Amino acid sequence: MTSGRNNRGMTMAQKLLAAHAGVERVEVGQIISAHVDLVMANELSAIAAIQEFRKLKGATRMFDPHKVVIVQDHFVPAKDIQSARVGNAVRKFAQQHGCQYFEVGQGGIEHVILPEYGLVGPGDLVIGGDSHTCTYGALGAFATGVGSTDIAAAWAIGEVWLKVPPTIKINFTGKLKPWVSGKDLILYTIGKIGVDGARYAAIEFGGDTFKYFGMADRLTMANMAIEAGAKAGLFAVDKQTLDYVDKSEAKVRAILNSDADAEYAQTFDFDVSEVEPQVAAPYLPSNTVPVSKLRNVAIDQVCIGFCTNGRIEDLRVAAQILKGRKVKPGTRALVFPGSNRVAIQAIDEGLTKIFIEAGCAVNAPTCGPCIGGQLGVLAEGERCVSTSNRNFKGRMGAVESEVYLASPAVAAASAVMGRIASPEEIGVMTNAK
């Protein structure tokens, strides 16, 4: 390392990792052992981690049960005997060790409830047994998905080995067109840089466009950073961040934004003023096109919600479009609130009634159909417009099915039309902000 490089400023990713490694600075490519603030697992990653934890010599208890969270959210409510067995084993382990535990009906989807319950805040280092753990980077935390072996080791010692990633800066400028959301911008970005364009890098999102966005959009974009191959997706901490964590009562451990002279591996500048709502066609999240290019694609099913777009702001958008309208006969529309709190708020605001009157099936918070697990699995030849984050071959069911990724606005309009459609096509010209 040269002295000149040592004098350069650090990115958010470097600062966050240096703070948790207990050193003044870290360099890209450096391997560090870092103390974690939170270790998260769902029932699928937890069941494998439990097996590895029990193999660790001397590991009889968790390093700090208050810093361990286990969420049942993938195959819940249990869909068969095997998933019931997994849930039961995870439940008993969580009770035995006294960690923070969210049962079905008492929480929701992991990447919605952790920010919602104030379990993640600025300056944290979070690892999770799920690739979309990068969601929490929207709060100014370094958050990343790891394997179940790393989860088990972190349960025991509260540390994780990480390689310091380079950072790619992506700046968005310009005023958004109607109905363009954070989901559209992240799909647009992945379409531009590819599913491996940020491989093992941290993406740092910036630019003046974000004055038009709330935290739900940021959480969605950070969630899908992994779809570009990124290790983390980060937003600088600003007033919106602090207002959000104040309401959630999350701890502000530190505000560690990038230095002005930080070194980036790459920088992309996107003018969003001409960007339309986006759709990712099968079978990659990078296969993105403007919605206007896909208007003749008939669909069988629409799914609105999940960890990507299951927050109350997302449901409000969908309800605005579905209010007073009907899901087209022959098309199924399913709604999955991201958490129980979101579900209750949707009831209180009258959104659930709008969905049901429109002909939607409103479900409990679950990852279910997003992973082809239950409550909306696709048959051969069926097409689905989904607000989820992946559209790989066979992702939501049969290998011969197709998944199109879109925002809640496009998904709701598509449910009404029975084909991929934009809100303007059904006469909804502007979205309420």
Start-to-end Cα distance in the chain: 49
CATH architecture of residue range(s) 1-275: 2-Layer Sandwich (3.30)
DSSP per residue, 323-386: TT--PPTT-EEEEE-SBHHHHHHHHHTTHHHHHHHHTPEE--S--GGGGT-SSSPBPTT-EEEE
Rg (CA), the chain: 21
pLDDT of residue 427: 84
pLDDT of residue 213: 87
Instruction: Dump pLDDT digits (tens) for 381-433.
Output: 999 999 999 999 999 999 999 999 999 999 999 999 999 999 999 988 777 65
Q: In whole angstroms, what is the distance from residue 5 CA to residue 16 CA?
A: 18
Q: Angle at which helices 148-157 and 43-55 pack, to 10 degrees? A: 60
**Residue 77: is the preceding peptide bond cis (ω within 30°)?**
yes
Q: In whole angstroms, what is the distance from residue 167 CA to residue 161 CA?
A: 18
Nearest by Cα to 82 from 344, 74, 129: 74
Quickly state the pLDDT bin for 295 (edges 50, 70, 90).
confident
Contact 219, 114 (CB under 8 A): no
Q: Is the pLDDT of residue 5 over 60?
A: no
**Is this prediction's pTM over 0.85?**
yes
Q: Is the pLDDT of residue 1 over 50?
A: no
Q: Is the pLDDT of residue 289 over 50?
A: yes
Judging by beta carbons within 10 Å of its beta carbon (0-12, 13-18, 19+), is residue 106 exposed, middle or buried? Answer: exposed
User: What mean pLDDT do residues 175-184 have?
Assistant: 96
Instruction: Dump pLDDT digits (tens) for 33-47.
Output: 999 999 999 999 999
Instruction: Dump pLDDT digits (tens) for 109-162.
Output: 999 999 999 999 999 999 999 999 999 999 999 999 999 999 999 999 999 999
Instruction: Dump pLDDT digits (tens) for 213-244.
Output: 899 999 999 999 999 999 999 999 999 999 99
Q: Is the pLDDT of residue 6 over 70?
A: no
Q: Please enumerate in sequence order all residues whose Cβ is within 8 A of that of 361, keeping only pairs 6 or more positions apart, or say none.
A: 332, 333, 334, 335
CATH code of the domain made up of 279-422:
3.30.499.10
Q: Is the pLDDT of residue 4 over 90?
A: no
Where exactly are the structural domains of the chain? 1-275, 279-422
Domains 1-275 and 279-422 share a fold: yes
Mean pLDDT of all residues in the chain?
Answer: 95
For residue 418, give the 3-state DSSP assignment.
coil
User: What mean pLDDT do residues 277-286 have?
Assistant: 97
Instruction: Dump pLDDT digits (tens) for 299-321.
Output: 999 999 999 999 999 999 999 99
